[in-house]
Chain A
Amino acid sequence: MTPEPFATWRRMIKEHGLIKTVFLRVDDTVTRITTGLNINDIRSVLRGDPPGKPNPRVKPHTESAIFHIWPSFYHEAVTKFYPTFRLGMLSTLLFFVEIMTGLFLMIYYTPAPGVAYDNMLKILSNVPMGQFIRDIHRLAAEFMVVAVWLHMGRTFLTGSYKKPRQFTWATGVILLIITIGLSYTGYLLPWDQLAYWAVTIGASMADAAPPPEVGKAVALLLKGGPDLGAAGLLRFYLLHVFALPLVAILFIFVHYYKVVRHGHSLPPEMEPIGEDTARKVSQDKRVPFLPDVLTNELVWFGILMVALVVPVALNIYNAPLEHAANPSSTPLHTVAPWYFLFIQGWLKLGDKTFWGVIFPTILIGLLLLWPYIDYNPSRRYGDRRIALAAMFGVIGILVISSYMGTPGFAVTTAPQIEIGYEFMPGEKVGPIRAIPFDQMKEGTWSTLDLASIPDDAPELRRVMEELAAAVSPQSVPPVQTINGQEVRYTNMYGELTINIAQTANGEPTLKELILGIHWDEQPTDPTNGRPGYFVYTYVSVDSTYSSGGE
């Protein structure tokens, strides 16, 4: 027989007519795409009708590569907000948000010092939606660290790590470490001062790994040299975009396979002690994945995306970008990323090797082995008083240690340097730069003579009043204590000198701001040979500091 073109179409048109044929073909295509649901099935899903028999909505779970990952029904008890809080699903969604936004950012990024920072500026100023995507990538990364931590806390709280889910818990701990690793390696990539010094602090932990030969080798392997440079940036980049995501995907699949294999653990109060009935779901407790659970998850996806997009669209959240990394100039009060602050806090307690490496390693080991250490078979809250007390104790310790990691704790420089940093920090904006450009009035303004500040500069006045409060004896701590006698600066005052540095057509385009801190018996400032302590900065008419820019 000779093959004819469109044989099926011609046969069907002859049999059903043209309109019905088009409908049948469309219906067939829809059924192929949904792997089993035709237009009528979808319509009945959307109308909320009960499924027919046999249930066509189960078919995608056997036919579709995507849907076969999910169970075809959940136990009714785990479809509520409690006990899962949707944290595992949100973590996974955030991971995919990171992959999509990360792919976009990779297009405009070159992992090389000198180029990387320039790429950041280009993404902000020359790529439509560039800032938007970068902000979302950064915000979702912060959310992901929070979500994964909370997910672990929830699993501990409900005792879901107990038999038979010990291994699921262990893969979860590894995913937590990978998440933090992803966030930390990504931190360096903008190659600005914030990134460079925060990562330098963290990477110096590797140096402390015992014995010294191993520490040296690990640090060299990680940083690609004695200091972070081109080699280190490339290594962090490859870890961030390739190695860690690969391992993360592997562990996400293992983790989720185990979740499906064992079933979502039921609320602890529902199960007999020592048993696990998650897989034995009676007919009346079954909630089908299609459509109920999927709809629920899509709503959560919507909530998550709105929580990411709206703060970014309204400029409530902007990913930080400081000046280009300068290995020869360490900014004051350098801190590690917030999720490492607790380690920075421990480091202030003493030995770097013990508090920075050995102690955290012991804790990770304890976390991994916890399901085998905690032999109590009961998941009921009332039976787990010690474990729950330990959990809240650890949370308390982490919060306090994180506070200890901030510069406010046990790191003090001289008062004039602290005040200078507070009002005119080297990297962040600070109150003085945020004064609107036209309110930066030429002249010298002193906290001793606030009345002379012109009335059309209310922001200048407000900041000078703040400065007056900051230099007042009540708020300046003693410089040192000798034999129980507090030594304090006396008659402290601040002065802000504003000069016009550059003009165009007679209008100022660049202003010079000099913050001077003065007190009795002040030494001479080496930068300009005048008595007192001085901080210099310049502000351009095109800056956006007063409207929240950086």
Chain B
Amino acid sequence: MQSKIFLGTVLFIILFVATGVVLLNEGILPEQQTTPANPGTGRMQIEQRAILGGSKEQGALLFLGNCSTCHGRNGEGVPGKGPTLHPDLFTKHFPQIKSTLGGFGGTVKDFIRLTVAAGRPIESAWAIEQGGFPQRMPTWGKAYGGPLTDQQVEDIVNFIMGWQADAGAAQVVEFDAAGSDITKELPAGDAARGEQLFAQQVKQAGGSNAACKACHSLVPGEILTGPSLAGVATRAGTRVAGETAEQYIRHSIQQPNAFIVPDDPKFRQPNGKSAMPEGLGNLMSDQDLADLIAYLLTLK
């Protein structure tokens, strides 16, 4: 009897001590709280960060599977497909929204959530600046006819928000862009490097991949968005009277609206412009342009 009372007392002391230790570790003490300077040290604070981190992990996987085709693996954007998210979204696009659309009262996070969930039925101002995108942002949230749950949309939003910390410090590469000027003298082209550019094995001077293959197949007759480039070297000289193959290809890259191939209605956007995006020249140097042209001229 006495030994049982003793044992029971010990057991209940263990019970209360264990519960008390758990309570003190939970994160309810003032020194465990999260402040701007210090991440909180309580279990709940650690858990909050882990949950946000886990959401970003899920968001990154969803971004890779659903978003990276048009916005790039690292949010760098794909010309002709989708605008740059990292860092332009934080440094340019959203500030522009706040200054021009006075009615939008939300934060950048709200704006991302809105865009991911509800898509973008009309073209945005910055999209037009980047040369326009023939496809609109589709709707992703279930509430707007998309495939993703609220939780999944939130995961993607948390992942994209992960770029914000470094957006201000992002490197802006200074280089002499080819632009839309077709009269400049180009250096001698290197077809082998041009092929690497096309295959996205090396990057353009601006730091992004050449987007050609997103719309142009190398399989004869296959139309992705633009015409197949198989045999372009032979065809190019016949398109516009007075232009050599080299001049025509250069003209098409730097000023896509000057001549639109009439073979398929897909090549022309509803607004009458070419489906080939404007402004591709802004992302490449003269050398990049010369190399690409040299490569394309080998596709006889």
Contact = CB atoms under 8 A, between A and B. Distances in A.
Interface of A: 46, 48, 114, 117-118, 121, 124-129, 131-132, 291-292, 295-296, 298-299, 302-303, 305-306, 309-310, 312-313, 323-324, 326, 328, 501-506, 509-510, 512, 527, 536-544, 549
Given A305-B11, A510-B57, 5 more contacts: A128-B26, A306-B15, A312-B22, A324-B151, A542-B52
B57 A313 contact: no
B74 A501 contact: yes
B71 to A, nearest CB: 14
B111 interface: no
A419 to B, nearest CB: 19
Contacts of B46: 542, 544
Interface in B142-188: 147, 149-152, 159, 162-163, 165-166, 169
Contacts of B35: none
A76 to B, nearest CB: 14
B22 A313 contact: yes
B81 interface: no
Given A504-B165, A543-B54, A510 B149 contact: no
B57 A505 contact: no
Interface in B16-38: 18-19, 21-23, 26-28
B15 A129 contact: no
B48 interface: yes
B47 interface: yes
B44 A125 contact: yes
Contact of A538 (B51, B57, B165): B57
Given A504-B165, A510-B60, A543-B57, A295 B22 contact: no
B12 A537 contact: no
Nearest to A426: B61
Contacts of B22: 129, 132, 312-313
B227 to A, nearest CB: 22
A117 B155 CA distance: 14
A541 to B, nearest CB: 7
Contacts of B8: 295, 298-299, 302
B177 to A, nearest CB: 27
A84 to B, nearest CB: 17
A134 to B, nearest CB: 12
B128 interface: no
Contact of A309 (B7, B15, B28): B15
B68 to A, nearest CB: 10
Contacts of A291: 1
Contacts of B149: 114, 324, 326
Contacts of B65: 527
A117 B54 CA distance: 14
A132 B43 CA distance: 11
Given A292-B1, A298-B8, A537 B57 contact: yes
B64 interface: yes
Contact of B54 (A295, A328, A503, A540): A540
A313 B24 CA distance: 11
B151 A540 contact: no
Contacts of A296: 4
Contact of A510 (B19, B49, B50, B56): B56
Contacts of B23: 128-129
B60 A512 contact: yes
Interface in B54-111: 54, 56-58, 60-61, 64-65, 74
A306 B11 contact: yes
Nearest to B20: A313
Contact of B26 (A48, A129, A539): A129
B271 interface: no
A166 to B, nearest CB: 35
B58 A542 contact: no
B14 A310 contact: yes
12 contacts: A125-B51, A128-B28, A129-B26, A299-B8, A303-B11, A324-B151, A501-B60, A503-B165, A504-B162, A509-B162, A510-B56, A538-B60
A310 B17 CA distance: 10
Given A128-B23, A131-B43, A299 B4 contact: yes
Nearest to A303: B11
B131 interface: no
A301 to B, nearest CB: 8
Contacts of B53: 510, 540-543
A312 B23 CA distance: 12
A299 B15 contact: no
Given A324-B149, A502-B162, A502-B163, A131 B47 contact: yes
Given A48-B2, A128-B28, A295-B5, A543 B11 contact: no
A313 B19 contact: yes
A537 B26 CA distance: 30
A544 B53 CA distance: 9
Nearest to A502: B162
A118 B162 contact: no
Nearest to A299: B8
B75 to A, nearest CB: 9
Contacts of B1: 48, 291-292, 295
A129, A295, A313, A536 interface centre (most CB from chain B within 10 Å): A313
Contacts of A543: 50, 53-54, 57
Contacts of A313: 18-19, 21-22
Nearest to A501: B60
B51 A510 contact: no
A155 to B, nearest CB: 26
A128 B29 CA distance: 11
Contacts of A509: 162, 165
**6 closest cross-chain pairs (CB), A and B:** A540-B53, A302-B11, A504-B165, A542-B53, A542-B49, A538-B60
A306 B162 contact: no
A114 B52 contact: no
Given A125-B48, A128-B28, A128-B44, A305 B15 contact: yes
A296 B3 CA distance: 10
Contacts of A118: 151
A118 B4 CA distance: 45
A121 B54 CA distance: 11
B169 to A, nearest CB: 8
A539 B47 CA distance: 15
A502 B165 CA distance: 9
A540 B26 contact: no
Contacts of A309: 15, 18-19
A124 B8 CA distance: 31
Given A128-B26, A313-B19, A540-B57, A46 B5 contact: yes
Contacts of A121: 51
Contacts of B21: 313
Nearest to A528: B64
A299 B18 contact: no
A299 B4 CA distance: 7
Contacts of A303: 11
A296 B4 CA distance: 7
Given A313-B18, A502-B162, A538 B11 contact: no
